[in-house]
Structures are given as structure tokens and as C-alpha cells.
A and B are shown apart, each in its own frame.
Chain A
């Protein structure tokens, strides 16, 4: 039946209408996982036995009744190993579940497995996983992007119907773009970070990686909302799914010139301008913007993220859980070391404090732009997927690959990446950025674009 190929919404609808069972969907996913994992390596753990048990006890009243879902392996899951794709946590099984996981399970979803990531989510390739790279389903000689590369590859290849990722800067949007799926990074604080293995705490944000914009909206409506267990959670109720727009008349969409750097792949630029034409046809007014050069965001993000990494990874002492610090891989060491340096006595003011001040300027720049436009668009990445091996010897691979998503991340803004084209058989992503708490608008624009294009309907031949 190939029920693994369904979208989340189709799967839930079919299960509720008893056209097929949750167990049948789950079995189709499991058999595709078994077939593709030797090539893709998208999963760290597949929880076949438990997920099949759970698929037999579906509550049909729940919004995600019996839908199998893949979770990035940096979300704590009670009873299933949580490794962050790191040797240090190779044998760690959390005693509790992340709020996101609990909310999904309370809504009826069943966890099929945990997906691969760059170890500790430190990267933009999934090549720096301590358990080997995930491959891109469109061409296994290429990287899926990261750090939520396992989640993106699992969705793109129909190993699963849907998944959860997390983003500090780009870790949802970049792999979604490189794998040709939808990735939604919510407003910072919209979704609880409780139980997500911390990377850059002032930016970390869980979000869905899905086959369609509607699937992403459905998941956000479930995982969002205030959580007392996360002190940076925004005290607002769950996010509500917005109505569909017939067209984009009356909307002003900004196109920053600086989001087309010199090194951008010409095909990416061409695709984005193609998307601009589609948005214009749908009635949007496109306005060119002069924004702060993203090169400053790269520097600000590098300092803040690595400083927060060094602080967050200080807890791994090998005493309460996990192995000792000698098991950190090269990328974690690079990040901890630089972050320790930028926070250390004599350097704090020049690096960390200065970065946080420039962050204020980036926020002010967005405030200024959003007085002129409702939303901002651009490429999610300057390139399509890069070949395996691209990260080797690159001391700032992640920070440079994510240059076009770092400004919005530093400002805590929501953004969505959706498929908008292909080059040499590899997908291209369009990102839509909106002001804080305006995921509704990002979803509406993305949904309107999606329903007038067919990029999201194409599947890799794997």
C-alpha cells in the first residue's frame, strides 16, 4: 500500500476513518526504513517493537491518532535511548521525556525512532555525527544538511510520514532545503526547550520537518504553548492554525539584496527569482531591501553559539550520566574551546558582550525592515546540498553554510523553508521570515506558494 508515502494529515485522516490502521502505516514505514537505512543512515534508533505495540492502542479522538513520527535524537524520550549522535551519550536513556515529545504523545502520535544529527547538533551537514553521516535521499553522494539531517532525509525518502527537528541557526531550515521538504523554525520561546539537549540556549528551538506546509502547521499547533519547565517559554497559549489565503494581494514581501552573496550558486538565485515571480502573480508586492550584511551575523552567531555551547557542555562530567569528557569529538572540542575563550576573563567584553550588542543592531535592523514589509524572503542556503566530505578540515563549516538563516535566528524570528526548485537533481529551498509570533503569516504565504507549485510533490528515486 505504501502508506509511508502519505502526508501526516492524510495518515491521520485515513486512520480515523478506518481506511487503514495505524499498524499498517507503521509497518509500511518500518519496511521502508529497513530497505533504505543501509543507504541513508537517517536513524540512530528504530523502536520497532514498542511502536507496533502502541499502534494497536489508538485513541481515535486525538488529533494525531496513531501517526508514527520520527524524533531527532537530541530530544529526551523516556524509555528510548537519547544519544545526540554523540559517543558521550551513546548509552544514555533519559528518565523523562521532553515537553515536545510528551505533547506529541498526548496528541496520539507514536514514536517510530530517533534520527541522526551532527553530534550535539553542532553542524550543518549531519556529517559530524559520531555514528556516521546521513546521506541525501536525492543523491546519496551528497549531504542532507544539518543538524536535523536525519529527520529531513527520513521525511524526504518516505521512511516516515513526518518528523521533529530542532534549530539553533539553520538546523531545521537547511536540511529541509537540501532534502526538498518543509522545515518550520518557530519564534524562539514558542515551543518549549525542556528536555532538548541544549546547544545555544538563547536560540534553540524545536520545530517540525514535514512533507507539506499543512503538516508543519498541524504539528506546531500541538507542540507550541507555554511550559513552566522552560523559563524562556513565551507565556501564550498554543498556536492556532490560520485560515488559507486565496492569494497574496495586499502583502508586501521584502527581498534583501544581501541574501544573494557573491558565492551563491547561480541556479539557486534563478530559482528564488522564479519564486519571486510566482509570489508576484499571486498578488504580493515585492520590495527590495537593504539589510545589514549577513557576514556580521555569522560572527555574532559564532561567538554566542560557541559561548553557550561551552557553558552547556560543561555539565558533561561523566558522573551523573554519560561517559567522560575524553569522548567529545573534534567539532565539539573546537566549539567548547572557542566558547570558553570568548567567555574567559579578559575576552568576555571584546567578544561575548560585543556580540550581544551587535545582536541588538541586527534586531533593530529587522524592526526597521518590518515597518516596510510584512515578510522577508530569500534562499534558505546559498547552495544546494554539498558532497560528502565537504566539512572535512573546515573549522567554521556550519556557521558559513547557515549565513542566510543566522540573522533571523539571532533576532528570535520564525522562518519556514519550502521547496522552490531543483538544480542538477538536488532541491532548492525558499525561506520566508516574519516578525516574532507571526508564524501564521509565514504559514499562509508558504501554503499559498505550495498550492500553486508542484516542487513538494516530487520524490527522490531511491
Chain B
């Protein structure tokens, strides 16, 4: 990898991916802080991991499933009880497809 420094453009790209709106007053501070952390984690590139498998799970359990049986769950009322906005018994979301 070339440079680990995170640029302002990169910061904006990451913020978009993470669905975060970054206050413009905080942008330069975040660029510095993320670059500092990115510099630190670069130490990982100095370690030889050829033929080493990654560990995603420390005790080795794999593909855990349960029986495909319907269990008692929340009522509709309970499920909706914490929603900021509901409509006719549904969660209310913003439109994801805009009108032409």
C-alpha cells in the first residue's frame, strides 16, 4: 500500500459508506486522528503471515444453526413499541426509491 494517510476525499468516501454526516468543522481533526491510527496499525504489514490462516472465531464453533421451528416472538405491538414513527402497524422509513 502506498500511503496510509487518510485524505479529506477518503474521509468523505468513508463517511458516505458509513452513512455518517461529518460536521465540516470536525473534518480536519478526523483526518488527523484517523491517519494517526492508520499509521499505527501499519505495524501489521511488517509481520510475515504467509501460510497462516486467519482466526475469525476463537473457540472453533462453526455454522451453528437451530431447528427450523417457529417460536413465540414479539407481538406486533411490542415490536413497534420503540419505533420513532409507525404507520398502520408498520415501521415508517424514508423512501429508498425516489419519484421521477
Q: Which residues of A are in contact with B by a Cβ distance under 8 Å?
A: 92-96, 187-189, 202, 228, 231-232, 234-235, 295-296, 298-300, 302-303, 310, 314, 317-323, 325-326, 328, 330, 333-334, 336-338, 340-342, 344, 347, 350-351, 353-361, 363, 395-396, 410-412, 436
In the assembled complex, 20 residue pairs joining A and B whose CB atoms fall closer than 8 Å, in A order, are A93-B81, A93-B82, A95-B74, A95-B78, A189-B61, A232-B61, A299-B41, A299-B43, A300-B44, A319-B92, A337-B20, A337-B34, A340-B18, A341-B10, A341-B38, A354-B45, A358-B47, A360-B55, A396-B40, A410-B58
Q: Does B89 contact A (CB under 8 A)?
A: no
A202:B52 contact, CB within 8 angstroms: no
Interface residues of B in 44-60 (CB under 8 A from A): 44-45, 47, 49, 52-59
Known: A93-B82, A95-B79. A326 touches B58 (CB 8 A): no
Distance in angstroms from A328 CB to nearest chain B CB is 7
CA–CA, A314 and B18, complex, Å: 7
With the chains together, A231 CA to B59 CA distance in Å?
Answer: 12
Residue of B nearest to A335 (CB): B37
CA distance A419 to B83 in the complex (A): 44
Question: Given A188-B58, A228-B66, are A299 and B44 also a contact pair (CB < 8 Å)?
Answer: yes
Q: Flag if B38 contacts A338 (CB, 8 Å).
A: yes
Question: Apart from A320-B82, A337-B30, A360-B54, what 18 extra A-B contacts exist at CB < 8 Å?
Answer: A95-B78, A188-B59, A189-B59, A232-B61, A232-B64, A234-B61, A298-B40, A299-B40, A300-B44, A321-B83, A330-B26, A333-B30, A337-B14, A337-B15, A341-B6, A344-B17, A360-B55, A411-B58
- A355–B58 CB distance below 8 A: no
> Residue among B20, B41, B61 with the most chain A CB within 10 A?
B41
Measured CB to CB, the nearest residue on chain A to B35 is A395
Helix, strand, loop or mixed for chain B's interface? loop
Encoded as 1 (CB less than 8 Å from any A CB) or 0, chain B from 71 to 100 comes to 000100011011110000001110000000
Q: Which residues of A contact B57 (CB under 8 A)?
A: 202, 232
Q: Are the C-beta atoms of B22 and A333 separated by less than 8 Å?
A: yes
Q: How many residues of B contact A (CB 8 A)?
A: 48
Question: 4 closest pairs, A vs B, by CB?
Answer: A412-B58, A356-B54, A321-B82, A395-B33
In Å, the complex CA distance between A378 and B26 comes to 39
CA distance A293 to B26 in the complex (A): 34
Determine if A361 and B49 form an interchain contact, defined as CB atoms under 8 angstroms apart: yes
Report Cα–Cα, A23/B97, bound state, in Å: 57
What is the CA–CA distance of A303 and B34 in the complex, to the nearest angstrom? 12
**Distance in angstroms between the alpha carbons of A320 and B45 in the assembled complex:** 40
Contact of A357 among B43, B54, B79 (CB under 8 A): B54
Distance in angstroms between the alpha carbons of A302 and B20 in the assembled complex: 20
Which residues on B sit within 8 Å (CB–CB) of A336?
Answer: 18, 20
The distance in angstroms between the C-alpha atoms of A363 and B58, with both chains bound, is: 9
Q: Closest approach, in angstroms, between the C-beta of B50 and any C-beta of chain A? A: 9
In Å, the complex CA distance between A345 and B33 comes to 21
Instruction: Pick from B34, B36, B49: contact of A354, CB below 8 A.
Output: B49
- A135 CB to closest chain B CB (Å) equals 26
The contact string, 1 if C-beta is below 8 Å from chain A, for chain B 1-29, is 10000100011001101111110001000
The 8 Å CB contact of B36, one of A228, A298, A314, A395, is: A395
Closest to A231 in B: B64
Assembly CA distance A71 to B43 (angstroms):
37
Rounded to whole Å, the gap between the CB of A166 and the closest CB of chain B is 17
CA distance A310 to B17 in the complex (A): 10
Interchain pairs with CB closer than 8 A, number: 148
Judging by beta carbons under 8 Å apart, are A351 and B59 in contact? no
Q: Which of A232, A338, A350 has the most CB of B within 10 A?
A: A338
Nearest residue (CB) in A for B67 is: A228
Measured CB to CB, the closest approach of chain B to A117, in angstroms, equals 20
A320 to B11, CA, bound (A): 28
Closest to B22 in A: A333
**Residue with the highest number of chain A CB atoms closer than 10 Å, among B59, B91, B92:** B59
In the complex, chain A residues whose CB is within 8 Å of the CB of B45? 350, 354
B33's contact among A232, A295, A323, A334, by CB below 8 Å, is which? Answer: A334
B38: which A residues are within 8 A, CB to CB?
Answer: 338, 341
Residues of A within 8 A of B30 (CB): 333-334, 337
Q: Which residues of A contact B14 (CB under 8 A)?
A: 337, 340-341, 344
Cβ of B54 and Cβ of A202 under 8 Å apart? no
Which residues of A lie under 8 Å from residue B83 when comparing CB positions? 319-321
B-chain residues with CB within 8 Å of residue A317 when the two chains form the complex:
19
Task: Give the complex CA separation of A187 and B52 in angstroms.
Answer: 24
Which chain B residues lie closer than 8 Å to A412 at the CB level?
58-59
Complex contact A326–B43 (CB within 8 A): no
Structural contact, B58 and A356, CB atoms closer than 8 A: no
The 8 Å CB contact of B37, one of A328, A354, A395, is: A395
- CB B33 to nearest CB in A, in angstroms, measures 4
Name the distance in Å between A36's Cβ and chain B's nearest Cβ: 31
Q: Which of B18, B20, B21, B47 contacts A296 (CB 8 A)?
A: B47
Contact between B44 and A351 (Cβ–Cβ < 8 Å)?
yes
